[in-house]
């Protein structure tokens, strides 16, 4: 999403207020979802430059998606990073309220390979 260069945006972030970026309004993740945030925060540390070259030439979201799809096709364990990115986006955009337990129940079931 890029660095925030505007001083006003930096102040808003420090105050925990919504910030507009790329035509979207991002809100601070609410404390009631802190446990979900902790499960997903590793998705924030994946750097595009650390991925294999065939993925590093893509934009971030497409690279992570392609990496996980390829891993699933090869019957390798996937990290669930793409799902975690989407979860963080859903929390920060406040698209709708949801029960995190239900969300992760489905995600973990997929990752373990159960039906």
Q: What is the DSSP string of 55-95?
A: HHTS-HHHHHHHHHHHHHHTTPPP--HHHHHHHHHHHHHT-
How many folded domains does the chain comprise? Answer: 1
pLDDT per position as a tens digit, 24-63: 888 888 889 999 999 998 888 888 888 889 988 899 889 9
Give the relative orientation of helices 81-93 and 60-73 as an angle to the nearest 10 degrees: 140
| CA gap 29, 94 in Å, rounded | 8
Please indicate, yes or no, if residue 18 is contained in any of the structural domains: yes
Segment 78-104 mean pLDDT? 76
Domain encompassing residue 105: 7-112
Question: Is 27:93 a contact under the CB 8 Å cutoff?
Answer: yes
Please indicate, yes or no, if residue 2 is contained in any of the structural domains: no
Please indicate, yes or no, if residue 107 is contained in any of the structural domains: yes
Please indicate, yes or no, if residue 1 is contained in any of the structural domains: no
For residue 114, pLDDT beyond 50:
no
């Amino acid at each position: 999403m890029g660095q925030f260069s505007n001083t006003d945006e930096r102040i808003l972030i420090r105050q925990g207020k919504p910030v507009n970026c790329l035509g979207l309004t991002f809100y601070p993740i609410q404390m009631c979802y802190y446990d979900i945030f902790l499960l997903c925060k590793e998705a924030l540390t994946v750097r595009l430059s650390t991925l294999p070259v065939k993925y590093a030439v893509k934009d971030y979201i497409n690279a992570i998606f392609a990496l996980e799809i390829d891993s699933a096709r090869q019957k390798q364990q996937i990290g669930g990073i793409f799902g975690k990115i989407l979860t963080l986006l859903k929390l920060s955009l406040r698209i709708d309220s949801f029960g995190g337990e239900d969300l992760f129940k489905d995600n973990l079931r997929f990752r373990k390979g159960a039906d």
